[in-house]
Structures are given as structure tokens and as C-alpha cells.
Structure 1
Amino acid sequence: MIQNNANAQPVPNLALEVRDLRVSIARTNVDIVKSVSFSLAPGEILGLVGESGSGKTTVGLSALGYCRKGLAISGGSIIIDGQDVLSLSPRQRQKVRGRLVSLIPQDPGTALNPILRIGTQLAECFDHRSSVTEQMLMELLRLVKLPESSGFLRAYPHQLSGGQQQRVGIAMAFANRPRVIVMDEPTTGLDVTTQSHVLDTIRGLCREHSVAAIYVSHDLAVVGALCDRIAVMYSGQIVEHGSASQLLSNPAHPYTRALIHAVPDLDRDSAVSGIPGSAPEPTRRTIGCAFAPRCESAEQRCRTLTPPTKELNGGHYVNCIRAGEIRKVEPSVRSIQVEAFSDRQVALEVSNLEAFHGASRILKGLSFTIHRGSCVALVGESGSGKTTTARCLAGLHGNQSGRIIFDGEVVAPHASQRSASARQRIQYIFQNPYASLNPRKTIGQSVAMAVEQFEPMSVVETRKRVLAALDEVSLPSGFADRYPQQLSGGQRQRVAIARALIVKPKLLICDEVTSALDVSVQAVVVELLEQLQRDHDLAMLFVTHNLAVASNIAQHVAVMQNGSIVEFGKVEDVLRTPVASETQRLLRDTPRFSFAML
């Protein structure tokens, strides 16, 4: 429910009311978030979605009476259980966090103290720590479906899997039975099975204990599978708000429609489509609709008139002056191109590949091929051996056996033993675009280092190659003189792709390269990789835990479990008529839009 009157009296039986919230850059009148209003009933889950910079995390953190350094909550009210959190002093706000409202952070690995045992950290969450008993801690473990044992309470965070760490974070948030939970992308980076279990846990706890929740995410498919209602944010404002079924089955705002088509979904035959351009910086927002510069349906009036909030039907609100017209027009989509490429020359042949960590066998006799111009997606849950396989092919995991034949030649297990030509023709793109670039080097220097290793040339020629590589990934030449911290995550990942492409590889190994990106940026990167694959006849290994992404980029898919390939075949065969029980389970756990609309 949207509340538009900032002076209205508190509505009884609501867990949370946010009224005309404003968050600004400190000591300025520049709004990061402007006029955001909504409310939540006990047990209700609201999905807050949008691209990076849309303001969704800022709104979520504001519910705790908190904002990032350099920002200030400059207006509005946040009423939880009848109490305005923003009217409290900083000391009083600290006291209500955990009791009235609590947070489940994005990365449990950094949120948990690495030197404290799990039991100690759980006990610290209770208001009265001195009276916490082991039985109370066991009850918390039971709530989130963790092992109810003294051994688990004595464990340290590094001894737990990512899914277990996230469940501990959930247990800590629910310890004092708060009225409201704020969840900041709590399943990003988790495989689909672990994600499904975590979402089930959150859904069950909210219903059972009547806890209202704000789920901050960029993934509409995940939000649709979990949430009762969805609010779509763009440029610091809510542009569409309604029930999950309303919003996903009949979106009214062009931005919502574009977001939906950027999300890969196994139930759709259309390929993902990125959103051109980017949202304006807070200091450069102008009058009119903020989305107009990126909107295919924008007219002149969209650029001069501020769109009012309209109620379409039954609590479905939208801020778009053309909403009624646009809903009647089907957006243009492209079909997923499925080609087997089995008639092309084999680029890579892997035979009986095994890998070890000490005495433990991690990979167990893998065999598969990749043809020129084709992509094989390697999918499976965390710990199945996907990244180890990729590292073996790149020569980054020395303790291995078996044969890797590339371009008809056997390549050595370790990169240091391979010829310069083999290292040049096999390139690796890492998962994290924030960690794979040297922050002290410009983008141009980072990209140039790759080509300098294999093809010494003049400074002028190197610069030309760098600019050509940036142009190929749709980055302007001016980016060559910027530093990584001046770029967004999607832009950094494009730089990483340019760095790999500049040496003209024949095999590109992509290790979860889209998992840290917004869905709109992810779609752009997938489209880019598809185009580069066609233009350069590249063979590609695409490691991912997201089967829907795999269906958009790969021609073949290999499903891994416990270090073995349990199913391999054409992507349409494996994903539509799976044989292996592991594939069936992964497909079952993958979030889909159709689930939200049942």
C-alpha cells in the first residue's frame, strides 16, 4: 500500500510505514532518494528492485535509521510499531536495531566476526546476553534449519558454507523477533539450490512470526518468487508499485518492462535484452521523467512533465504519463539463437581430467569438447567443481592429471609450463570485476599489460590496440585514462573482457562473470559475449550457477555434481527434458516469473 500523505495519522496494525522519505547528500539539497512512501503489514514481504544507484539499498538502510557516510536522511518519517525511528536520537536508534528492526546483510562472510565462534555471535544478538542459554541458541538453529549441535555452535565462520553463513545471519536478525527485517541482496552469489533453501527459510519465518520484510534486490525473478508486493525504483523514486502477480504479468512502466526482459527466465523463449544507457547521476537529474533518455516510448512531454502517480487498478500504481498506451504495445524481443556447431572444428578436447587438493580428489575423470564458435556452459551448485575445472583449463591449478588438447596440441597442466602462444590463445575472465583490476593502474595500462606480454610494440601502436579493444566492448576511448574506482561494476567487467580480447584468444573462459552484476548490466554483458563469440569464432566455457543465463548464451551445457559431469548435451535438450536427478533439482530450484504469477 502506498501512503502519500506525510501528515496522516499512523495506520493501526501496520508493521512499517515509510512516508515521503528523503535522503540527500550531506549539507546539500541534492536528493539521492525523494518522496518514497509505502507501508507493510505484519508478515508481508516487499521486494525493492532496481539497478545499482536506483536508491533501493539507501531506502532499505533508512528503515534502520541509518544511511551511508556522506548522506543524510533529510525528510519524512519511518514508523515501526507506532514509533517514528527518525525522531529518535542516535543512541536510541541503536537500541531499537535488532529489537524493532534488523538487517540481513548481502555478504555474511564479511558480516560475521572471523575470530568468534558461531554460538558467541548468536548470543550477542539477544537483548539480555547474560541470560542466554544453550537451549535458546539451539532453538535459533532449528528456526533456520541449521544443525542443532554443540559442535556447530563451537564452529568458526570459515568452517561453514556460504549458505550456512547466510542462515546464521538470518538467525541473528530474527533472534529478538523484530517487527521488520531489511534484507540487502542476501542470496547474491549463492547457487540456485542454496538460494532456494535460504528464500524458503526467510518466507517461512516471516509468515510464522508475523515479521514484515523489505527484500532489496536487482533480480526480479528472485523477488517474484519470494515477495507479496514489488516496488520498482529508478533514479531515487518508486516508479511502479503493486502485487507481485500484477507487476510481473502486466507491467505498466517502460522501465519495469525493460527490467523484466533483462532477466533470463527458463519459461521464456526470448533472449535477454539489455537497457541502453544509464541512469542520471543525482546531481544531473532534470525535470520530466528520469527514464525518458533511455525509453523507447518517450515523447517530448515525457522530458518536460513530471509524471504523477496513477492508480491503475487494485493497488497497482505507476509514475508514467503514457502507461495506459504502453501496456497495449508488445515490446520487441529477439529469440534465443540455438545452434549446435557440431560440424565445426574441435577447439578444445578434455579427456579424463582429474584435479586434487592435497590428497582429496576434486575432479573425477571429466571428458568433453568445445567446438569453434560455440559455448559450453558449466553449471552446478557451489562445490561441484565448476571453477576448479575452469582453472585447470587455464593452467591455474597445477595438481591435475588427464589430457587437455587445444587446437590439436596437448597443453601442459600448469600455465608456467605452456608456450607463450598457448597462454595467449586461452584467456580467463574472473568473477569479481572489482578485484580483477589493479586500482593503481589506469584502464589503459591494465589492458595494455596483456598485449605487451605477447606482442611488444611501440607506445603509439599499443595505445591504438587498447582503444580498439575498448571500442569493441562499447566503452568510450576516454575510459583509457580512468581508474577502476571511477567505473561501475558492469563497466569494469567490460574492461576485463577487453583485456582478454586484446590478445586475440581462441578460447575464452568466463568464470561467473555476470553473478556480481545488475540484471540489466548482466544482459548487456551476455549480449556482448554472444556478439564477440560470433565475430571472432571464439570457443567459450561459461561457468555459472544460473541455468537461465546458461540458456541464453550456450549451445551445450554440462551439469556438474561432486566433481563429475552428470549430464551433457544441447542446452535445449538438457533444460527441457533433463535426465539426471541433479539437473532436475537445479531446474526445480531456479526462480521463475511463472511461479510468482500462480
Structure 2
Amino acid sequence: MTGTSPGNAVLEAVDLSVAIVGTTITVVEPTSFSLAPGEILGLVGESGSGKTTLGLALLAHHRRGLRLSGGRVLIRGQDLLRIPPDQLPARRRGLIRYVPQNPGTALNPGLRIGTQLAECFATPPANGNDHLLALLEDVKLPPTPALLRAYPHQLSGGQQQRVAIAMAFAERPPVIVMDEPTTGLDVTTQAHVLQTVRQLCARHAVAALYVSHDLAVVATLAHRVAVMYAGRVVELGPTGRVLHQPAHPYTRALIEAVPDLDRRTAVAGIAGQAPEPARRPAGCAFAPRCALALDACRAEPPALAAIDTDHLVACLRPTSGRSAPAPPSSSPVPGASALPALEVRNISARHGATVVLHGASFSVSPQTCVALVGESGSGKTTLGQIIAGLHHDWDGDILLGGAPLAHRSAQRSAAQRCHIQYIFQNPYSSFNPRRRIGESIAMAVRAFESPSASDLRRRVAEALDMVALPREAASRYPHQLSGGQRQRAAIARALITGPKLLICDEITSALDVSVQAVIVRLLARLQQEHGLSLLFITHNLALVRSIAQHVLVMHGGRIIESEPVDQVLDAPQQSQTRRLLADAPRFSAAPVTLGVGDG
């Protein structure tokens, strides 16, 4: 596609910047870009790069402790940053809407879906429920009165996210900001949501900023891609060109960290960490992690400049093309022990009167990873919670190292509780908001041991090192970390006890691809060095090849396929498995060009 010129732009961000309150420290450096009607711009980068902060700034909004420090946000000629605060909510609602990552934060649990949809209109629609039913149909939800009467908790995560999208599109605003709207969704639901977003933007000429850490999703959805690093846009251009011919070293490194179903190479994380806003170097912020950096790179940050039509890059040594592929992945060799680390025998489970698991059986060998995949509602998380002792209404047998496990965690021995650790999907609810991160991680140790204060501080610091978090994170509160940083802290809390079995419930869904690659390699190393066994619950099928040796595919509460990784991904036997693979976004299939309005 061609670049967006100011003449046909519906949104213009001009030198938009965000700083920390009471300081001159910038979180987002002066940033300029524009969006045309119907255009989708993908905004990608590591956690803490400023993606969400920039997205919120387009709404003249910011998180606590930050301030909008300069620039303009023009939507249909109106500058949101110049609207008086008391008038902003009313005037903004017709210009720009926001879809958050977690639909639970967009929906009121105490109000029916129909009520919340109706509240999206400044003036109630004349035809009442008919208009609301049409909104449901727009986002591929059943247009039934029963759904309008439902409460959020009665819907699946994918249905909740579609309702949130319907609320954003309700008054057909010219611009929408979408912040990781498919994170946590299974691949089939994600594919349907992405198709819905693409069609709504094209049909109603709505411009969208799509914030994501998932380059495979952006590859299939966006017309252009902006790559952010340390508060700056370092590359901007048409999706196919940026992803197939990346010019900035950081973009190339991100691409090598993306797991892909069609690529049989190990994902590669980026060495080092992005600098904190207060510690950014005088020159290019990526220079300390870049093998191509020159002295001039460290003197001052390169300006964003054109290297081709509509392709901009902030680099003194831009290059074209992908970097060399990572070496082939090597799966950890299973332990020699004949005794499985975990045995699950004929497990059936219920939620109330509803049977949700039907005779599930499998085993996990020492030092291996078994991936558990399937659509939302297939029973994956319930099975993981049963093994952890968090769901009690089940029949069958579970053995850990040959010893039977009681139904409830509280009935198990201290050693068994220590040896099975569970990492939850949602990083936002993983920590007590009033307790510092270091204190929360230390509590996991105190539950089983009585270490000295100095030993505890050392172990917390080492756990943070393992998950690529700065040690200063121990003194911070959860709200002071990004979503990806919170999830890494949750992983550190599980690892600090030295578990034998780690149950990972969608733990990488909130992580950027580089940190995801670091975590995957970390877990593989722990398997080899400490005999760690993993049950890896995920909807990211591309990631399975990088972490697991065996795959279990679930559907309708049953295990329908159980085979080695390559056999399942290359020659699936069940139609449901084939459909999951067909719905998975593939980075390698990104179009070379994609024009606005293409669906």
C-alpha cells in the first residue's frame, strides 16, 4: 500500500510524547504518524517499549504517574489534547474508542450484555433491541434476545472480546485503538475475531491502531507496521516489506524470535534488556544489544528516515533481508527413569452437574514437556487445575513420581505441593496489588522453608535474573510493571521453589516474542539441568514445536490425539487438529503487499 498523506488521513499524531510526572524523563519520545480511513497499523515491540502508552496517548489518556508532555492528536481536524478535560469524555466518544487486552476490564460484571451495548450510544437507538442485535451479528455472535440478557460471566473469553469490539464499533467512530485484543484466545477464536476486525474496519472505513506483541497476527491483519523500541518508532512501513525485508537490526531480531509452524528452527531471544526510561543512552537505545553498532550510533539517536517508498527506519546501518536462521532446535532428551514424573489415569471431572472431562489418561516423563492444546472450553485448564489440586470434583487417579495425589492441594504433603507449581494465564490477577514483587516471590519460599533474610534476597534476585527482569523489580508494586513483566515475575515465583512439575497455563500469551523465546529456552534448560517436567497448556501451536516433545489435543473434554510433536503438526490424524492448524496465524505467510480495504 502507499503511505498515508495528511490530505487523506483521518488521524494524525504529531510529535506526540509522554513523560514521567514531575520529571523530564520521556517514556514515549516525540512520535508522528497518520492513519487513513479503513487502514490498520500494527504497533509491535517488546514489553515496556511504550506501545500501550502510545495507544492510550491517542485517546488523550495516560496511566497513573505519567503525563502527556507534548504534541498533537488530530482526528477529523480536532486536536484531542486541546479539548478541556471536562469536555473530553463527551467529545472523544464520537472520535476514538479503545478495546482493552482483557475484556473483563471492558465489561461490567453486574450488567447484562444488552444494557452495556445500549450504553455505548449517546442517544438511544430508535429501533432499540433490533439495533443491538445487528451489533451482535456484526461481530459474528448469535443475534438473539437470550444473548442480550446474558451477563459477562456466562460468555466465553472469545465471546466477551467480541462484545467489547461491538461496543467499540457501535457508533462507527473514525478511529479505534486495539490493545492486544486476541491475547489469551485459542487459535480458532482468534482467527474469527481477527476476521471480524478486518471486515468491520473495511466496511465502515474505521482506522485502527492494533497494538500487539504477536508478529504472526500483525502479519495477517495490518496494512502497515510500526516497530517500537525504548519509546521510539525505529521502523515503519508496509507490512510485507517490514516483515520480509526488515531494515532495522531490532526488527530482524524480533522476527527471529517468532515461532512459526513452517520453520523448524529454534526461536532466538534478544540478548540483554531494553533500558528503563531513566537509563536510556544518549545515542541509539538499541546500540548496547546490537552487533552492528558504530561509535556514531552511541553519540545520538538516528532520525527516522526513508530508505524506500513509504519505508522508514531509524538506523545508520539499515540492511535489507532476514538474518541468518537460528540453528535447528534440539528437544531435551527424556530422562532415563522408567517411572513417569506424572501419571494421569482415566480422569473424569464435573463443573456442577456438567461433565467437562471424559476419561483423560496420559503421562509425563521426567525431563520432558507435554503440550496440551485445544479450543477454549475443551477442558485444558480444568485438567491442569485437577493436577494442581485446585479442582476437586473428579474421579480417577493421579500419581506424582509414583505416589498418589489427594484431590485437594491442602490434603497433599508439603513436598508434593512444593514439587507441583502452577503459573496462571492472567498476569494482572497473579499478584497482591499492595505487596511488592519481591515480597510475593519470597512468600513462595517461606511456604516451605525458613531461610535467612540475606539468603532469601539472593534467591529472589537470582529468580528475577532467570526470567530477564531487572533486580530493581523486586522493590516495585505490580502496577509499576507492564503485563509481560508481571508474567515473568509470576514465572520467577514458581521457579524459586525448585519444582519437579511445572504446569504452565498460557503463560506466554501476554509476553512479547523476544521474552517468550527467552522463557522457552530457559524452560528447556531447566528440563535438562534440573530434571524439570512441564505440562504446557497453550493455544499457540507454533510455539509447541519449540518447547514440547509430545502433544495432547483436546476437544469436548476428551483427548482426541496424543502423538510426538512433529507427527501432530505435520501429519495430524483428527479433523479437529487439522482445523486448529489451519486457523493458526503463520508469520511466513505474510503478504508482500496488502492494500487498505483488502480483506
1:67 corresponds to 2:62? yes
The one-letter code matched in structure 2 to 1:136 is: H
Over residues 342-369 of structure 1, what are the superposed CA-to-partner deviations in whole Å (9 max), with x where a residue is unaligned?
Answer: 8652222211111112221111101111
Out of 167-176 and 472-481, give the one that drifted further.
472-481
CA distance in 2, matches of 1:102, 1:486: 25
Alignment correspondent of 1:301: 296
C-alpha change, 1:296 and 1:488, in structure 2 (3 Å) is farther
Q: For 1:209-259, what per-residue CA distance to the aligned partner results, in whole angstroms no more than 9, with x for missing partners?
A: 111111111211111111010011112221100111001101111111121
Contact 2:36 2:207 in 1 (8 A): yes
**More displaced 10-residue stretch of structure 1: 99-108 or 480-489:** 480-489
Deviation for aligned residue 1:14? 2.2
189, 194, 197: which one aligns with 2:192: 197
Deviations 1:4-50 (A, max 9, x none): xxxxxx83332222222223334543332223111222111111112
Look up the match of 2:75: 80
After superposing the two structures, state which structure 1 stretch, 106-115 or 227-236, moved more: 106-115
SS at match of 1:167: helix
**Secondary structure of 2:6 counterpart:** coil
Q: Which residue does 2:390 correspond to in 1?
A: 396
- For 2:318, the aligned partner's letter is A
Task: Give me the whole-angstrom Cα distance separating, in 1, the residues matched to 2:54 and 2:452.
Answer: 51
Q: Secondary structure at the match of 1:20?
A: strand
Structure 1 residues 356 and 292: alpha-carbon distance in aligned structure 2, compared to 1, 3 A threshold: same
> Once the 2 structures are TM-superposed, how far is the Cα of residue 443 of structure 1 from its aligned partner?
5.3
- In the aligned structure 1, how far is the partner of 2:129 from the partner of 2:551? 46
Gaps of 5+ in 1: 4-9
Q: How does 1:423-502 map to 2 (within 5 A)?
A: 423-439=417-433, 445-455=439-449, 489-490=483-484, 492-502=486-496
TM-score (norm 1): 0.91
Q: Could you say if the C-alpha distance between residues 71 and 438 of structure 1 is closer, same or farther in structure 2, counting changes exceeding 3 Å? A: closer
Amino acid at match of 1:411: L
Distance 2:39 2:457 in 1: 55
| 1:430 Cα deviation after fit | 2.7
Residue 49 to residue 495, structure 1, CA distance change in 2 (3 Å): closer
2:105 corresponds in structure 1 to 110
> Does structure 2 conserve the Cα–Cα contact (< 8 Å) formed by 1:340 and 1:556?
no
> Where do residues 3-152 of structure 1 align in structure 2 (5 Å cutoff)?
11-26=6-21, 28-129=23-124, 131-152=126-147
State the distance in 2 between where 1:469 and 1:485 align: 20
Structure 2: unaligned runs, 5 residues or longer: 593-599
How far 1:431 sits from its partner (Å)? 2.7
Any idea what SS the aligned residue of 1:12 has? helix
Match of residue 182 from structure 2: 187
Percent identity reads: 58
Q: Which residue identity does 1:333 align to in structure 2?
A: A
Q: Does 1:337 align with 2:319?
A: no
TM-score by length of 2: 0.91
Between stretches 439-448 and 85-94, larger displacement belongs to 439-448
The farther-off stretch of 17-26 and 140-149 is: 17-26
Mapped contact 1:384–1:562 kept (Cα < 8 A): yes
Q: Considering only aligned residues, what root-mean-square deviation do their CA atoms show, in Å?
A: 2.7
1:280 is aligned to 2:275? yes
Q: Quick one: structure 1 residues 456 and 382, their matched pair in 2 at CA, closer, same or farther if it must change by over 3 Å?
A: same
Aligned residue for 1:356? 350
User: Letter of the aligned partner of 1:317 in structure 2?
Assistant: L
Summarize the Cα distance change of 1:238–1:351 in structure 2 as closer, same or farther, 3 Å threshold: same
Deviates more, 1:112-121 or 1:578-587: 112-121
> Residues 577 and 322 (structure 1 numbering): CA distance in 2 closer, same or farther, change over 3 Å?
same
Which of 162, 175, 194 does residue 170 from structure 2 map onto? 175
2:306 is paired with a residue whose SS is strand
Query: Aligned equivalents of 2:427 and 2:59: distance in 1?
Result: 30
Instruction: Give the one of 395, 413, 429 matched to 1:419.
Output: 413
Change (3 A) 1:570 1:173: same
Distance (whole Å) between structure 2 residues aligned to residue 93 and residue 482 of structure 1? 32
Instruction: Please name the residue that 1:378 is paired with.
Output: 372
Deviations 1:368-402 (A, max 9, x none): 11111110011111111111111111222221111
Q: Tell me the secondary structure at the aligned position of residue 323 of structure 1.
A: coil
In 1, Cα distance between equivalents of 2:275 and 2:383: 41
Query: Which structure's relative contact order is higher, taking Cα pairs within 8 Å and 6+ residues apart?
Result: 2
The match for 1:588 is 582
Query: Which stretch shifts more, 284-293 or 411-420?
Result: 411-420
Once residues 18 and 463 of structure 2 are traced to their aligned partners in structure 1, the CA distance between those partners, rounded to angstroms, is 39
